[in-house]
Structure 1
Amino acid sequence: MPPKKQAVVEKIRLGRPSNNLKMGIVGLPNVGKSSLFNVIAKCDLGKSANFPYATIEPEEARVPVPDDRFTWLVQQYKPKSEVPAFLTCIDIAGLTAGASTGAGLGNAFLSNVRSVDGIFQVVRAFDDAEVIHVEGDVNPIRDMEIISTELRLKDIDWIEKALDNSKKNARSAGNVSLEDKKRKEEVAIIEKILKYVQEDNKDIRKGDWNNNEVEVINNLQLLTAKPVIYLVNLSERDYVRKKNKWLPKIKQWIDENNPGDLLIPFSVALEERLLALGSPEAEAAELATLGDNITGALGKITKAGYDGLDLVRYFTAGPDEVRAWTFRKGLKAPEAAGIIHTDFQKKFVCGEVFGIDDIKEHASETGVKAAGKYKQIGREYKVQDGDICYWKHG
């Protein structure tokens, strides 16, 4: 007999198993967090001001995610309604040195960081005597060290408490049941997690964890398990000329401490000025005066946050509506259908699916069908980014 094929065990992701994920805007006070929130949300919810803790309660906004495919579908179907994909962004108050022990309302602010799924870390790299710096001068490397240290220290605090509880549960357990063994295994896992953060001085998201370890990490809701995108706030002049004395040092720090994390330069001063112009056409005209290939960074930032959370989208398209439906990579057809309505998942029959590239190539759904690209799929089909889906249910 041929050997049995081993079942493929899917890797569990770090983070909440949800399609409704959020990015938190994090950093020291007065680095441009609330100003970024205001321009990215095109509103004035974030309380930007030239003093620390202008923001206390977190503000929330849903930001459209740029997508040329969605724009193409709207032009193709000319629907009565169009609904793009959105990224939820949260403006979180500034953290300071000592936040992990409660300094500067640190406990409340770190709890707000805990409630989001990914981090936009805003780093100040512009000089402006009129905008005070909580540490007295501009030094992005020091600022990144402060944030990194405070997040790790808070994680250590939470892990140590979890370890104490886990050890108590393990002591009260015997060695008979599977539950008893599981409790003892949990102690070993938490000790491994603690060593990684405390002794190895590394962020959880950089570790190679198996599924059992990921389950424990996800239950702990650790800050350093969240994906981080570094947003470096430059003066308009430095952004336009693509030069700043701190950028190479910031890149080096990221490569040494959190290799693979994304760095995006932007200028909140420029973005505020563009927003005040009132229209995309006026913005484009103004950018053209600044030089060749100068663009705003907000679209890139939004898309990076969406991608960083492992979010993708499928589309429904017709004359009434073109809509993007956000989900986490790897979702099967019934669960993807359930995003529209829970009955679609409960009473799922099948789906009819074709790719955005198929309709672009063949110009219409009729052309897609004629080319044999229009397929019927069942429960095990994993919906792909850019699929156009129609669901059938009982």
Structure 2
Amino acid sequence: MPPKKAVKEEKILLGRPGNSLKSGIVGLANVGKSTLFQAITKCSLGNPANFPYATIDPEEARVIVPDARYDWLCQHYKPKSQVPANLTVYDIAGLTRGSSTGAGLGNAFLSHIRAVDAIFQVVRCFDDAEIIHVEGDVNPTRDLDIISEELRLKDIEFVEKAKENLAKQTRRGGQSLEMKKLKEEEATVDKILAWLNDGKDVRKGEWGPKEVEVINPLFLLTAKPVVYLINLSEKDYLRQKNKYLPKVMEWIKTNAAGDPVLPISVSFEERLATMSDEEAAEECKTLGSKSALPKVIVTMRQALNLASFFTTGTDEVRQWTIRKGIKAPQAAGVIHTDFEKTFIQCIVYNYDTLKEYGDENAVKAAGKVMTKGKDYVVEDGDILLIKAGAAKA
């Protein structure tokens, strides 16, 4: 008899399983968060002021995701309606030393981070006597230490509370399946607590599927993906040199290895945001540089493990956002919740195939159009036609 195939354990991701995920712009006071928010969202929300706690309630806006594939499809189909993918971004109040114990706007700030799925962490690496620093001077590695410590301390508080609640239940004892499950959860919570007390972030741990199921409902701050945005002066950004950068890169390598790091100049982005697209393009050409914002948005989508599929036609071209690895019925559910329940099959081919062959008829003639069922894992760039039954009343 042939040997049995080993069942591959599916990796469960940290974080919420949804597709409409949100990112928060986080950092100490006066590092450029609100100005970045205005530039990235091209709106006047946020409150870029030169004093701490200028932002109290988190502002929210949707940012269009730049994608050459979507642009090509719109040019190809010339549809009546065009709907790009977007990413929801929050501008969150500045953190300060002691936030985890309620200093400044501590608890409100941390609850706002708890509500987002990923973090843009803005690190100030520019000198400007006009813009005060909440700690008195510019020292990016100290700022990174403060934020890292405050998020971890708050997580320890969350996990200790969860441990307390579980202990109340496991004290009853017994051999039931429910009790066994509770004790397993308690062991996982102890493991998370030890990890945090050891000065490590939850997202950097190797967690099994059952452990992830315990971690996710805790909404831990250090479990969220982080993209570090290094805020440089315009001069440093254009010449791609900065005196603070080597130490910052060393800190990230030691404390957050593998997390994306992007240099950005918020003052440069703010200036470009006041121009028309043509003027901004001309300015970038003159300076031999370009806006970092498209890369910032795309990098965050990657950090959130997001992908896209498309629905196309002369009526509408639309880009839909999904988590990588989801199956066709769940992707159909993103279009309409009923479609997930009544999913029958999908007709699928990939954007790359369409671009290679030029049009749908050529793709069909080449036998590249597939019909897939409920187990099909949707790939980034797939073009789908969903077939679903009538919803039950």
- Residue 51 of structure 1: SS of its match in structure 2? coil
Flag structure 1 segments of 5+ consecutive residues without an equivalent.
Answer: none
Task: Write the deviation string for residues 253-302 of structure 1: whole angstroms up to 9, x where unpaired.
Answer: 0000110011101111111111111x2211110111113xx111010101
Q: Distance in 2 between matches of 1:60 and 1:48?
A: 15
Structure 2: runs of 5 or more not aligned: none
- Map Cα deviations across residues 70-126 of structure 1 (whole Å, 9 max, x no partner): 111011101111111111101100000000000002011101000100000000011
Aligned match of 2:117: 117
- Secondary structure at the residue paired with 1:339? helix
Q: Which residue of 2 aligns with 1:210?
A: 208
Q: Which secondary structure does the structure 2 equivalent of 1:385 belong to? A: coil
> 1:16-95 counterparts in 2 under 5 A?
16-95=16-95
- 2:252 aligned residue (251, 254, 278): 254
Task: Give the aligned partner of residue 237 of structure 1.
Answer: 235
Question: Which structure 2 residues correspond to residues 1-394 of structure 1 after superposition, within 5 A?
Answer: 1-174=1-174, 176-198=175-197, 200-277=198-275, 279-291=276-288, 294-394=289-389
Which sits farther off after the overlay, 179-188 or 106-115? 179-188
Contact conserved, 2:93 with 2:105, CA < 8 A, in 1?
no
Paired with 1:327 and 1:242, the residues of 2 have a C-alpha distance of: 35
Q: Structure 2: which amino acid aligns with 1:252? A: E
Letter in 2 for 1:193: I
TM-align CA RMSD:
0.9
Letter in 2 for 1:353: V
Rounded Cα–Cα distance in structure 1 between residues aligned with 2:4 and 2:266: 58
- Aligned-pair CA distance for 1:5: 2.6
Q: In 2, Cα distance between the equivalents of 1:274 and 1:187?
A: 52
TM-score calculated relative to the size of structure 1: 0.97
Structure 1 position 361, deviation (Å): 0.7
2:196 and 2:259 mapped to 1: Cα distance?
Answer: 18
Secondary structure of the residue aligned to 1:194 is helix
Secondary structure of residue in 2 paired with 1:230 = strand
What percent identity do the matched residue pairs reach? 62
Q: What is the CA–CA distance in structure 1 between the aligned matches of 2:180 and 2:82, rounded to whole Å? A: 53
The SS at the match of 2:104 is: helix
- Give the whole-Å Cα distance in 1 for the aligned partners of 2:64 and 2:3: 50
CA distance in 2, matches of 1:385, 1:103: 43
What is the deviation of 1:7?
A: 2.5
Q: Which amino acid aligns with 2:286?
A: T
Matching residue's letter, 1:309: L
* Aligned-partner Cα distance in 2 for 1:187–1:196: 14
Alpha-carbon distance in structure 2 between the residues aligned to 1:5 and 1:361: 36
> How many residue pairs end up in the alignment?
389
